Amino acid sequence: MKDLRIIVTGGTIDKVHDTRVEGLSFSPDGSTHIPEMLRIGRCHFPAIELLMLKDSLHFDDADRDAIAAAVTAAPEPAIVITHGTGTMGETARFLDGRVAGKTVVLTGAMRPFSLYASDGEFNLGGAVVAAQVLSPGVWGVMNGRVFPAERLNKNVEQGRFDA
Amino acid sequence: MKDLRIIVTGGTIDKVHDTRVEGLSFSPDGSTHIPEMLRIGRCHFPAIELLMLKDSLHFDDADRDAIAAAVTAAPEPAIVITHGTGTMGETARFLDGRVAGKTVVLTGAMRPFSLYASDGEFNLGGAVVAAQVLSPGVWGVMNGRVFPAERLNKNVEQGRFDA
Amino acid sequence: MKDLRIIVTGGTIDKVHDTRVEGLSFSPDGSTHIPEMLRIGRCHFPAIELLMLKDSLHFDDADRDAIAAAVTAAPEPAIVITHGTGTMGETARFLDGRVAGKTVVLTGAMRPFSLYASDGEFNLGGAVVAAQVLSPGVWGVMNGRVFPAERLNKNVEQGRFDA
Amino acid sequence: MKDLRIIVTGGTIDKVHDTRVEGLSFSPDGSTHIPEMLRIGRCHFPAIELLMLKDSLHFDDADRDAIAAAVTAAPEPAIVITHGTGTMGETARFLDGRVAGKTVVLTGAMRPFSLYASDGEFNLGGAVVAAQVLSPGVWGVMNGRVFPAERLNKNVEQGRFDA
């Protein structure tokens, strides 16, 4: 199987409940939940790179340039990017054409992993598999479906990514 | 994307804690957790077929014939089979050659879904994606890896399926 | 043991993650999680009354009058009130003196029950016991401690109720 | 409030799923879940003593002597003992009369804490409160009820402790 790297950028999948504000934010210590998710999935082989922890609604082109640079710099041919759902499609289309020769799969969650009953593990499990078997290009994997970059869009009404 | 059917056969993924025996068994009401797992994964499109709820260590050729018949009878070209980990490889090799023209992916879990921190959702998310994108044939998807039938084997020592 | 009623008024303990706003709110269908919490605690005997589902920061005297009226109307001598943490102390002091002859225990959670790793069950388990064994009066039970109404105060810095 | 010690003896509350035997056992590293349960309950004040990790069906008088000795040696006036449900009543009656001057509360769980939807936190929250407010003597707190030692009995049929 192909070597795989997971590049962490934040998004809902990595948010936690903050009792002080009674809302969601990232861990105050700047940590990511992806290693724990892989441990639960008993998936030991991916390299993990914590690039940033941001809400994707606040991403600008500098953030997306940083993601493209991380993908290019990675020695692995298969890349999973964990990403907020708000602008996952925009980032996919930004990367498309900039990261030739690699299979890049964006994923995330509608509900944080740190809350019970998140879609995060289901999505991450799909993304890890997809990155190893799909052709080079930029893809999204969410809620059981594989989307090419140009058709990766959140269905806000249904609360999922949909065909 | 291809239409997908999930055929449920039991295994650890579907076991529950039974307080009377203080051990694991299937739900007394004969139900499966796969629909709830898909709901959590926000994955609404698969057809689900509850074929049996058995520990795969107790499978015989009659059980495997029933699984092959269910795969053959399914109208969908993509099939996920949830299965115990004990003899998942044997069933994959039994099916290989008997279910031509379909993409069949076996999956399951080392730890029941009904217990916190199961690998079940990670595995199911991977299997649902794999069944839609892999070539026809019989495969296993466990713990982030895709295995052809002939190399699908549990690593008892590590508590996972491994390359 | 004394008969017990649980009066539900909302608060963090009953909040859910809402994927549309990516924040916390009450269930859109107006339901409470207290029955499920009791089922998990295998505690079958309390009567449950859903009085309101409100954030206690938005409580006014009309809300507190409604709570006092519900306590007075209850046929049971032991009452647990689930309540937001923001003004739990204010409600306790409002009720003190207005609900003579009953043992009234306020409780809630710093983290919603519907999120993994909530203090809700620990607190509810303590409140149900306290309401049966404490003398008549108004009390708070949070995070393993019993507080008389006049000393029931949230420690925002520590994220708990504290002596 | 009274100082409190929790003496850990094992039982279902502390069991984990062991993937190798596909059943329940104690953690191979000999650790207890009680500190994590208190952390989730945001209850920071109890002293914790890991005395043993045993299934209470295997307890003999030497084990119960060790528990009585630990209670007697404890400097705190309030003691919670986490214990298997199988012989919780027997241990309570054994301790009754041997541990004068202290409030001793036995508790445990029908379903392990490490599995989702355990009654362990509800029970522990009740026991921690009861140990601080009940008179000296030996008690059991399970599933929302307080039982004197002589009436502490598991209802196997209902899967709970019941009046």
User: Does B157 reach chain A within 8 Å, measured CB to CB?
Assistant: no
* From B19, B20, B156, residue closest to D20, measured CB to CB: B156
Q: What is the pLDDT of residues D65-106, one digit of tens each?
A: 999 999 999 999 999 999 999 999 999 999 999 999 999 999
Q: In whole numbers, what is the pLDDT of chain D averaged over residues?
A: 96
pTM: 0.94
Give catalytic status of residue C19 as yes or no.
no
**Catalytic center residues of A:** 12
Q: How far apart are CA B6 and CA B50, in angstroms?
A: 8
Q: How far apart are CA A22 and CA B95, in angstroms?
A: 52
Domain boundaries, chain D: 7-162
pLDDT at D1 over 80: no
Hey, which residues 99-118 in chain C have their CB within 8 Å of chain A? 110-112, 114-116
State mean pLDDT over B117-138.
Answer: 98
Give the number of beta-carbon pairs within 8 Å between B and D.
34
Q: Can you read off the two tokens belonging to residue B47? A: 């057809």
**Which chain D residues are closer than 8 Å to C154 by Cβ?**
none
ipTM above 0.95, yes or no: yes
pLDDT for D26? 96
β-strands B4-10, B47-54: how paired?
Answer: parallel
Q: What is the pLDDT of residues A97-133, one digit of tens each?
A: 999 999 999 999 999 999 989 999 999 999 999 999 9
pLDDT at B121 over 80: yes
The answer to whether D159 contacts B116, with C-beta atoms less than 8 Å apart, is no
Helices of type H across chain C? 34-40, 61-73, 88-95, 120-133
Contact of A92 with A149, CB cutoff 8 Å: yes
As a whole number of Å, the CA-based R_g of chain A is 14
D7-162 belongs to CATH 3.40.50.1170: yes
User: Does C51 reach chain D within 8 Å, measured CB to CB?
Assistant: no
State mean pLDDT over D142-162.
Answer: 93
Confidence of residue A163 (pLDDT cuts 50, 70, 90): confident
Contact of C59 with C87, CB cutoff 8 Å: yes
Q: How much of chain C, in percent, has pLDDT values that exceed 70?
A: 100
pLDDT for C163? 73
Which residue from A minimizes the CA distance to C156? A20
Q: Can you read off the two tokens belonging to residue B153? A: 């084997």
Residues 6+ apart with CB under 8 A from D113: D13, D14, D33, D36, D37, D120, D121
The answer to whether B115 contacts D115, with C-beta atoms less than 8 Å apart, is yes
* From D12, D19, D156, residue closest to B111, measured CB to CB: D19
